Chain A
Amino acid sequence: MEKLVVIGAGMASGRMLEHLTDAAAPYQITLFNAEPRGNYNRIMLSPVLSGDKTYEEIVTHDDQWYAERGIATRFGEHVVGIDRARKVVTGQNGEVPYDRLVIATGSAPFMIPVVGRDLPGVIAYRDLDDTNTMIAAARPGAKAVVIGGGLLGLEAAAGLQMRGMEVVVIHIMGHLMERQLDPSAGYLLQKALEARGITVHCKGATKAILGEDRAEAVLLEDGTVYGADLVVMAVGIRPETRLANDAGIEVERGITVNDQLQTSDPSIYAIGECVEHDKQLFGLVAPLYDQARVLAAALMGQPADFRPVQTATKLKVTGCDLFSAGDFADGPGREDIVFRDPGRGIYKRLVIEADRLVGAVMYGDTADGNWFFGLIKDGTDISEMRDTLIFGPAFQGGGSVDPMAAVAALPPDAEICGCNGVCKGAIMDAVLAGADTLDKLRATTKASASCGTCTGLVSQVMALTLGGEVQTADCICGCTDLAHEDVRRLIKAKGLKSMPAVMQECGWSTPDGCAKCRPALNYYLLADWPLDYRDDRQSRFVNERNHANIQKDGTYSVVPRMWGGVTTPAELRAIADAADKYNVPMVKVTGGQRIDLLGVRKEDLPAMWADLNDAGMVSGHAYSKGLRTVKTCVGSEFCRFGTQDSTGLGIRLEKLLWGSWTPHKVKLGVSGCPRNCAEATCKDVGVVCVDSGYQVSVSGAAGMEVKETELLVSVPTEDEAVAVITAFVQLYRENARYLDRAWKWTARVGLDWVKAQVVDDLEQRAALVERFEISQSVYRKDPWAEHAKPGARDEFAPLIDLRLEAAE
């Protein structure tokens, strides 16, 4: 009988041995395994970790199984070498000769090379010993940090959490399981994990594991520190190829095999995660089972070819119902179909190419997963059922997306009317008690009775309660039925802090929005959650993305800030130098009391900014929906008519407000007396100084519309003027529609309501000022300096310049 030696008693070789011995193949078999045990179902380690199963329950082959099949087992013994010339395998306890050899060594966890990774208490998640180490460490209340938010890391996190540990997951990418999920599904998964008490930290890069004698904490690049009694590294795996390498068999990333799983040495085969077939590696069992079948056939001299099939992923964490299959990689000609049900937390996305389904991601309801997977594998032509495809096989006509789903999904205590603090439940109660019109409802609950921006949502809640139709207000764009105000309200009521969160919970019909809604959502999120949300450059219009104004020939203009329109000889020299150095074709004085350098090439922007920064100047935000300029006159400092220091006040306001993002641009003017040289009364906010103090007026315009400001309040002191103006700007930031200038917004909500907030209600005024300051702690900084840093400059240059090569 031929001698067959198998290295590694894992899931792939286990299945292969079943096929071989079932067919009574005439081999004398020796099986090595480094682990001191035979084959068990590795993928069920997660239920063992969580306590749902015991090790005994997941053993696939026990001693008796091996004995009955005459397999000689050498468990707990590493193979340390293969001598191909003599055809012997060297184990720790001696040699075994082979005629045919199967390498099935699986893979080794990748440990990221950070300081402290060798400390006790830092482990990987691969085998039963790791699992037992985790179980032993899992005292209730103890802290665990899991590095890696992929399948393995999340299963470890869930298991440890079920054993009572406080668990933090650190993930380097923007959303969990990014290889299987898109941001929307990743958001739902994160929400589900957070709901069960697991902390998820995305975009977190581990810097070091801290501790003296054992792991005590994990330090991230951003400075965050998480205490840790246990650190689990689950950042990826590498094929275990050391034996093959040493033996001189061909290895790329894995051991290279042909369609018969044969290596470059004809008497040696390899199977499982240690192999590379057709440039592909493997990390899930389904294709390995196919390999097992093919290799058994090959060893019995039967024809068979290994052809990898697509795989589907599920996560074995109860309560996290996700499914992902097929191909999301590049390829032109693809289209998406998206379905979201915010109420039930469902997201489904199908990717279609040439009338075939090529990929599917689902969260929340994965019942149809296998049906979709079947369509993908079979390449079924879906053109006939395309319109209803996403509703699954059971769909029999009817059924459509419910525009009120987002409101229906709100809990009763969600605040609908922000002005009067009226929640959804109170509105429903009032409606049921007879308030069946908007007027009656306003009279009884005061909902939508103040600024009125929540009227759309209130009507929807009414319609929901009464079961009637509601005509939806003017929606943001084709991606949603909701109006701007509705979305702003829902962002606050539901605590939505990311773009995928808004799109999911408000039932967006596209995977990632459009050029209309994305800039608006980006603004709403950063205005409402300044500390949690990070500005998304790719959701900004070109000027704000590049921090300069694009001109009609594709060049840019650069306008440094001149506080209150005041400059110095040194600044003027630096501006003149920059104009010379970068061949600026035109230097112009703007209407906003500063200097514009026009015609700058995009790739010169960062260097020019750095030069201006060196002279102490910062961005003038001449391109932003944000604070533009504060125009001043010389005021009491020099002018014989001046009543107050208008220049000083203007500078103070500009230094306070600069850098803030607003729904549309904001321009201020401060004049030192009613002669009004700074033309303050056609600005968004204008101050006219008088002997008795400061007249603050708002909502002027001098564009396509020309409109005089309306008086907000007269105050005796500069401090009060500053507080009222700050509160006004913050109220505008918190409530207006994106791209509504202040005058449009006050026309919608009424100046009386605005006065009530920032003039009459002193507490509210102070709260607005405080919230503005919190936001400014993030945004009162120079974007030019950020982008002029070495390393941050690259995006302003082309990837590659092929003009020279082409000319050759």
Chain B
Amino acid sequence: MTAETTEWLDIAALDDIPPQGARLIRTAEGCVALFRTHDDRVFALDDRCPHKGGPLSEGIVAGHTITCPLHNWVFDLNTGLAQGADEGAVRTHPVRVEAGRVHVAAEVVARPATARNAA
């Protein structure tokens, strides 16, 4: 992230995401999953497990972790890092909740265009 102020996109209401559940944002570079934890915090991570590409949004949300539905790797939602013996990281994205609305950093959406142009 750069030092300049983040531009935020209003995505949805907090209540659109079930507690201890997840919903997706589809972007050109793949899906970003928004996770809502038991204490109503929201985290945004790529919806792709670094192990074999499992859709993390379909896993079980417990505490501040997500367990991949395919082979049960567990990731810390704060850092995106795999827990325990497994090694790997999922990219995390800036997200915030304000007045019951979920906002993600605009760069999450803007990113693919640049990524593709560069390629």
Q: Which residues of A contact B (CB under 8 A)?
A: 182-183, 328-336, 351, 510-515, 518-519, 537-542, 545-546, 550, 552, 554, 794-795, 798-803, 805-807
Counting contact residues on chain B (CB < 8 A from A), the size range is 35 or more
B63 touches which one: A514, A538, A554, A803 (CB < 8 A)? Answer: A514
The 0/1 profile, CB within 8 Å of A marked 1, for residues 53-80 of chain B is 1010011111111010110101001100
B24 touches which one: A332, A336, A799 (CB < 8 A)? Answer: A799
Query: Chain B: which residue is nearest A183 at the CB level?
Result: B38
B27 touches which one: A333, A540, A550, A802 (CB < 8 A)? Answer: A802
Whether the pair A798, B112 counts as a contact (CB closer than 8 A) is no
B12 touches which one: A331, A511, A514, A800 (CB < 8 A)? Answer: A800
Residues on B with C-beta less than 8 A from A799 are 11-12, 16-17, 23-25, 34
The 0/1 profile, CB within 8 Å of A marked 1, for residues 14-36 of chain B is 00111111011111100100100
Whether the pair B109, A795 counts as a contact (CB closer than 8 A) is no
* CB of A777, distance to nearest CB on chain B (Å): 26
Whether the pair A798, B24 counts as a contact (CB closer than 8 A) is yes
Whether the pair A182, B39 counts as a contact (CB closer than 8 A) is yes
Whether the pair A336, B63 counts as a contact (CB closer than 8 A) is yes
CA distance A513 to B53 in the complex (A): 25
The 8 tightest CB contacts between A and B, nearest first, are A515-B67, A538-B20, A515-B60, A542-B58, A798-B24, A542-B69, A512-B38, A330-B41
B23 touches which one: A334, A518, A554, A798 (CB < 8 A)? Answer: A798
Whether the pair A541, B42 counts as a contact (CB closer than 8 A) is no
Q: Name the residue in A331, A512, A807 with the highest tally of chain B Cβ atoms < 10 Å from its Cβ.
A: A512
Q: Name the residue in A351, A513, A799 with the highest tally of chain B Cβ atoms < 10 Å from its Cβ.
A: A799
B86: interface (CB < 8 Å): no
- Give 18 A-B contacts (CB < 8 Å), ordered by A residue: A330-B41, A332-B43, A333-B78, A351-B39, A510-B62, A511-B39, A515-B60, A515-B67, A518-B62, A538-B18, A538-B19, A541-B60, A554-B53, A798-B24, A799-B16, A806-B28, A806-B109, A806-B111
CA distance A329 to B40 in the complex (A): 7
CA distance A280 to B40 in the complex (A): 19
Residues on B with C-beta less than 8 A from A798 are 23-26, 31
B26 touches which one: A330, A331, A545, A802 (CB < 8 A)? Answer: A802
Whether the pair B113, A806 counts as a contact (CB closer than 8 A) is yes
Known: A330-B41, A550-B69. A539 touches B27 (CB 8 A): no
B105: interface (CB < 8 Å): no
CA distance A331 to B77 in the complex (A): 11
Residues on B with C-beta less than 8 A from A538 are 18-21, 60-61
Whether the pair B62, A514 counts as a contact (CB closer than 8 A) is yes
B91: interface (CB < 8 Å): no
Query: Chain B: which residue is nearest A808 at the CB level?
Result: B113
Known: A537-B18, A539-B60. A511 touches B38 (CB 8 A): yes
Whether the pair A512, B59 counts as a contact (CB closer than 8 A) is no
Residues on B with C-beta less than 8 A from A518 are 60, 62
CA distance A183 to B38 in the complex (A): 9
Known: A798-B23, A798-B26, A799-B34. A335 touches B64 (CB 8 A): yes
Whether the pair B62, A513 counts as a contact (CB closer than 8 A) is yes
CA distance A801 to B30 in the complex (A): 10
Whether the pair B26, A800 counts as a contact (CB closer than 8 A) is yes
* CB of B48, distance to nearest CB on chain A (Å): 10
Whether the pair A512, B62 counts as a contact (CB closer than 8 A) is yes
Residues on B with C-beta less than 8 A from A336 are 39, 63-64
B89: interface (CB < 8 Å): no
Whether the pair A805, B59 counts as a contact (CB closer than 8 A) is no
CA distance A542 to B71 in the complex (A): 12
Known: A512-B20, A798-B31. A803 touches B59 (CB 8 A): no
CA distance A541 to B21 in the complex (A): 11
* CB of A254, distance to nearest CB on chain B (Å): 14
CA distance A794 to B63 in the complex (A): 25
Whether the pair A510, B19 counts as a contact (CB closer than 8 A) is no
CA distance A512 to B21 in the complex (A): 13
The 0/1 profile, CB within 8 Å of A marked 1, for residues 72-109 of chain B is 10100110000000000000100011000000000001
Known: A511-B38, A537-B18, A541-B60. A803 touches B43 (CB 8 A): no
Whether the pair B58, A550 counts as a contact (CB closer than 8 A) is yes
B69 touches which one: A330, A541, A803 (CB < 8 A)? Answer: A541
B55 touches which one: A335, A539, A554, A800 (CB < 8 A)? Answer: A554
Query: Chain B: which residue is nearest A546 at the CB level?
Result: B58
CA distance A542 to B109 in the complex (A): 27
B110 touches which one: A331, A334, A801, A806 (CB < 8 A)? Answer: A806
Residues on B with C-beta less than 8 A from A807 are 28, 113
Known: A539-B60, A807-B28. A332 touches B78 (CB 8 A): yes
Query: Chain A: which residue is nearest B114 at the CB level?
Result: A806
CA distance A541 to B54 in the complex (A): 13
CA distance A330 to B53 in the complex (A): 28
Residues on A with C-beta less than 8 A from B113 are 806-807
Residues on A with C-beta less than 8 A from B64 are 334-336
* CB of B12, distance to nearest CB on chain A (Å): 5
CA distance A519 to B64 in the complex (A): 17
CA distance A795 to B72 in the complex (A): 23
Given contacts A800-B26, A806-B113, 10 further A-B contacts (CB under 8 A): A328-B40, A329-B40, A330-B42, A511-B39, A550-B69, A550-B70, A554-B55, A795-B23, A799-B12, A799-B25
Residues on B with C-beta less than 8 A from A794 are 16
Residues on B with C-beta less than 8 A from A539 are 20, 60
Known: A518-B62, A798-B23, A799-B24. A334 touches B12 (CB 8 A): no
Whether the pair B78, A334 counts as a contact (CB closer than 8 A) is yes
CA distance A351 to B31 in the complex (A): 30
* CB of A179, distance to nearest CB on chain B (Å): 10
Whether the pair B58, A545 counts as a contact (CB closer than 8 A) is yes
* CB of A681, distance to nearest CB on chain B (Å): 33
Query: Chain B: which residue is nearest A359 at the CB level?
Result: B39
CA distance A805 to B69 in the complex (A): 30
A806 touches which one: B27, B34, B61 (CB < 8 A)? Answer: B27
Residues on A with C-beta less than 8 A from B24 are 798-799
Residues on B with C-beta less than 8 A from A510 are 62-63
Query: Chain B: which residue is nearest A543 at the CB level?
Result: B69
CA distance A545 to B58 in the complex (A): 9
CA distance A799 to B53 in the complex (A): 21
Residues on A with C-beta less than 8 A from B12 are 799-800
Residues on B with C-beta less than 8 A from A513 are 62
* CB of B20, distance to nearest CB on chain A (Å): 4
Residues on A with C-beta less than 8 A from B41 are 329-332, 334
Whether the pair B28, A803 counts as a contact (CB closer than 8 A) is yes
Residues on A with C-beta less than 8 A from B20 are 512, 538-539
* CB of B74, distance to nearest CB on chain A (Å): 7
Residues on A with C-beta less than 8 A from B63 are 336, 510-512, 514
Residues on B with C-beta less than 8 A from A550 are 55, 58, 69-70
Query: Chain A: which residue is nearest B54 at the CB level?
Result: A554
Q: Name the residue in B23, B39, B70, B113 with the highest tally of chain A Cβ atoms < 10 Å from its Cβ.
A: B39
B59 touches which one: A331, A332, A542, A552 (CB < 8 A)? Answer: A542
A330 touches which one: B18, B28, B40, B109 (CB < 8 A)? Answer: B40
Known: A512-B38, A798-B31. A803 touches B60 (CB 8 A): no
CA distance A335 to B18 in the complex (A): 21
Whether the pair B25, A800 counts as a contact (CB closer than 8 A) is yes
Residues on A with C-beta less than 8 A from B111 are 806
CA distance A605 to B65 in the complex (A): 27
CA distance A540 to B20 in the complex (A): 11
Residues on A with C-beta less than 8 A from B28 are 802-803, 806-807
Residues on A with C-beta less than 8 A from B96 are 330
Residues on A with C-beta less than 8 A from B42 are 330
Q: Name the residue in A514, A515, A541, A794 with the highest tally of chain B Cβ atoms < 10 Å from its Cβ.
A: A515
Whether the pair A795, B18 counts as a contact (CB closer than 8 A) is yes
CA distance A798 to B24 in the complex (A): 5
* CB of B5, distance to nearest CB on chain A (Å): 18
Whether the pair B38, A182 counts as a contact (CB closer than 8 A) is yes
Residues on A with C-beta less than 8 A from B43 are 332
CA distance A512 to B66 in the complex (A): 13
